[in-house]
Amino acid sequence: MFLKITKEHIKHAEMNEKTKSILNIAELLRTHSIIDGGALAVVGALCITHTIFDIRILLLLIFGMLYLAWGMGFNEICDVEYDRRTNINKILVRGDLSIEKATIITLVVFLISTAIGLYLAHTSLIATSILVALIISGAGYDLFSKKTAWAGFLAGAWLFFLILFGAAVAGTPNLLALAIALYCAFYMVEACSIQGSIKDIATDPPANVAVALGSYAYKAGIFDKISIYLSPSFKTLSTIIKASQILILFYVLTYLLPQLNLASYIVILALLGASIYTFVKYMGFSSLDQRESLKRHLTLSAVFAFSLIGFTLVAFVSVYELLILLIISLVWLFMWSYLVKGRI
């Protein structure tokens, strides 16, 4: 029996190839998570405008998403040699997308996001200066994330400038925008330099804050269980970073207290308590055999940290508008997670 190849077969094959190419690009740019960049840029603007119904909000959402997509793609390119040495299953290591094509894609995304950023900032010297700082800190993190243990502080600076940029586009950044930007920056440092160090202590020593401060992983027991020793210096730094977040949050609550209702205040304090609890739990892990439990606590830590910001915004932004922003973010996240990863 001979296989009859029709125009429909060829067209179907071409469509499958195009779909695969789109999904490869989506994986490179981590499309499922770039909504975070847009949402955080919008948070900065909401500190000034107090409403999402503003054309600048839409442009900031697009800018933040594209800018984070560029950062994700550039990070993949910068880390490709390290990923090859450690056999990490990533798209450039697998060869599903060439480095040359990845470079062109990320450059195009960078140019588009920068053009939108310059359009938003062109009437404000402050916004333009923050945009430059944003690009430098983001590129710096991508270049040095696998070369130095302290690159997490560049990630914190990047998030700080992203939120401030949103505020500067909407008007003159106020103390509230500055405080929220600092809070998120300290959380990003915690996520990259503290949580990331514990999670990767056995596999990523050159760029690990915990290892740089005297912590290490070792085999123990008859089953060679991989245990963790966290040094006093690392624990002290971790506590300072977490305490800084708490102090900033209390400043924000004090600043907003007249506008917050009792229910919101109770929820925020409950989330803060849960955030501190997860911090104590993951700092207490002593074995990498508890990796799944560790990942669960790190995920909860992120949920609690950013939920705190959401409930703080309730003081001056309509709940319905925040729900619209949340629904858009969740739909985007779930849709692209399913398309790229095959799961939600």
Rounded to whole angstroms, the Cα distance separating 300 from 319 reads 23
CA distance 128 to 122: 7
The 10s digit of each residue's pLDDT in 270-293 is 988 988 988 888 888 777 666 677
pLDDT digits (tens, 9 = 90+) for 171-188: 999 998 999 999 999 999
Query: Across residues 154-164, what is the average pLDDT?
Result: 96
DSSP 100-125: HHHHHHHHHHHHHHHHHHHHHHTT-H
Domain ranges for the chain, please list them.
25-173+317-344, 174-313
Q: pLDDT of 209-235, one tens digit each?
A: 988 888 888 776 665 677 888 899 999
> In terms of CATH, what superfamily is 25-173+317-344?
UbiA prenyltransferase (1.10.357.140)
**What percentage of the chain exceeds 90 in pLDDT?**
38
Instruction: Tell whether the torsion through CA atoms of 100, 136, 156 and 228 is positive or negative.
Output: positive
Tokens of 36: 């975070």
Predicted pLDDT at 265: 81
Q: What is the pLDDT of residue 9?
A: 47
For residue 38, report the phi and psi dihedrals to the nearest 5 degrees: -65, -45
What is residue 216's predicted lDDT score, i.e. its pLDDT?
82
The reported pLDDT for the residue numbered 250 is 87
Is 146 or 190 the better-scoring residue by pLDDT? 190
Could you give the dihedral angle defined by the CA atoms of residues 220, 221, 222 and 225, in that order, rounded to the nearest 10 degrees?
Answer: -60
Question: How would residue 205 be classed by pLDDT, with cut points 50, 70 and 90?
Answer: low
- 8 Å CB contact between 308 and 242: no
pLDDT digits (tens, 9 = 90+) for 300-337: 888 888 888 887 887 788 888 888 888 988 898 888 88
pLDDT band with cut points at 50, 70 and 90 for residue 206: low
Dihedral (Cα; 117, 118, 121, 122), 10-degree rounding: -160
pLDDT of residue 12: 46
Tell me how many helices (H) and strands (E) the chain has: 15, 2
Is there a contact between 55 and 77 (Cβ–Cβ < 8 Å)?
A: no
Q: pLDDT tens, 64-84?
A: 999 999 999 999 999 888 888
Q: Cα 251 to the chain's mean position, in Å?
A: 24
pLDDT tens column, 238-270: 999 999 999 998 888 887 666 777 887 888 889
Q: Which of 2-11, 129-138, 185-194 has the lowest mean pLDDT?
A: 2-11
For residues 83-95, give the mean pLDDT: 81
Judge if pTM exceeds 0.95: no
